[in-house]
Amino acid sequence: MKLALLTEKSLSLFAAVGGWRTVAEGVASRVVFLIAYLVTDQVSTASLIAVGGVVVFAGIRAFTDRKYWQAAIGLVIVGASALLAGSTGRAVDFYLPAVLMQAAGGAVFLLSIAVRLPLIGLVLGRGERLDWRRDPPRRRRYQLCTGIFLAKYVLATAVLVPLYLAGLVTPLGIAATLLGGAPAAGVCAYLCWRFLRARSALAR
């Protein structure tokens, strides 16, 4: 894959999932809930504040970018987290969806590697009708990049589950924001981009 095409595909993928606004919204919702809970010591109040913040973000996104589905997804996820925490009265339950998503994500990435259909290949190879599968070096590169994301999900799950079970709200909130959110995913995406870019340069 040529460097320009690889860069274009990576940027288009990033834009498709919402770009920097989606990154900021995902991080902000978890941080806002944690800060609000530490200040008020009230789960319901912190949940409402977190939802309110996301509603504002979603409204701005829908009004300025007309990207309704991206705004709706973020609102649904935070709304479900807030509803769960509010119904149980346990602040750690606000982060339970994040814990479950890490475990589920790890299972999906592992399965894609096991069946030799690495997710990174499916994403970056869109429109090629799986032609990249007939190129063993390229398929191995996609497998390795998928493995990078798999390692992130495994690490996040290994950290988040014990914190959740122990009921440690502050460490869980920080870990869910960093490991279970956009920061860790961004690092993985950057590492994959650098790896594929280096391999593409060597193949020229």
pLDDT in tens, 21-60: 666 666 788 899 999 999 999 999 999 999 998 888 777 7
Place of tokens 């090629």: 128
Side-chain half-sphere CA neighbours of 65 within 13 A: 18
Torsion of CA 177, 110, 104, 52, to 10 degrees: 30
Question: Is the pTM of the predicted complex or chain greater than 0.85?
Answer: no
Q: How confident is the model at residue 127 (pLDDT cuts 50, 70, 90)?
A: low
Classify the C-alpha dihedral 107-187-24-127 as positive or negative: negative
Among residues 112, 109, 110, 79, the alpha carbon closest in space to that of 97 is found at 79
Tokens of 160: 């988040």
Residue 112, amino acid: S
Distance, CA of 40 to CA of 200 (rounded, Å)? 52
Angle (CA) 105-111-114 rounded to 5° is 145
Least confident of 22-26, 33-37, 61-65, 142-146: 22-26
Distance, CA of 173 to CA of 166 (rounded, Å)? 13
Distance, CA of 155 to CA of 70 (rounded, Å)? 27
